[in-house]
Structure 1
Amino acid sequence: MPMAAGSGEKPSNSSIKPNTTTEFATQTSTNTTSHTKTEAEEAADRLYEERIEEEYAKREGGA
């Protein structure tokens, strides 16, 4: 009695490739939309920069 499922050959998946280029492009385009920062965001950014500079200064001082 012959097998109904086929001749036993497995389908090749070599033609199926993930489309990472399109996915990356979609993510990038949504992340690059213009965004004006609020006053609070700008203040938080300045504070962050100050703290990072202080941390680097501590490390450069030989801590």
Structure 2
Amino acid sequence: MCESNLYSEGGDLLMEDVIFIEVLEDGIRATDILDSQKEFHGKITRIDLDKHRIYIETED
């Protein structure tokens, strides 16, 4: 499986083992391998497929 970890732009780990991201009108919703969901207000800034990392700039 190809899970990724979700990080803030500052490098803080926000969520592990993310398998699905939905872009919302005011942010994103991430779902992990256990089907747990978290919503973040902000935007995706970069995705590193080699290191399985997704970075977001949060507004919180």
Query: TM class, shorter-chain normalised?
Result: under 0.3
Q: TM-score, normalised by structure 1?
A: 0.17
More strand by share: 2
Q: TM-score, normalised by structure 2?
A: 0.17
More helix by share: 1
Q: Which has the higher contact order (CA 8 A, sep 6+)?
A: 2
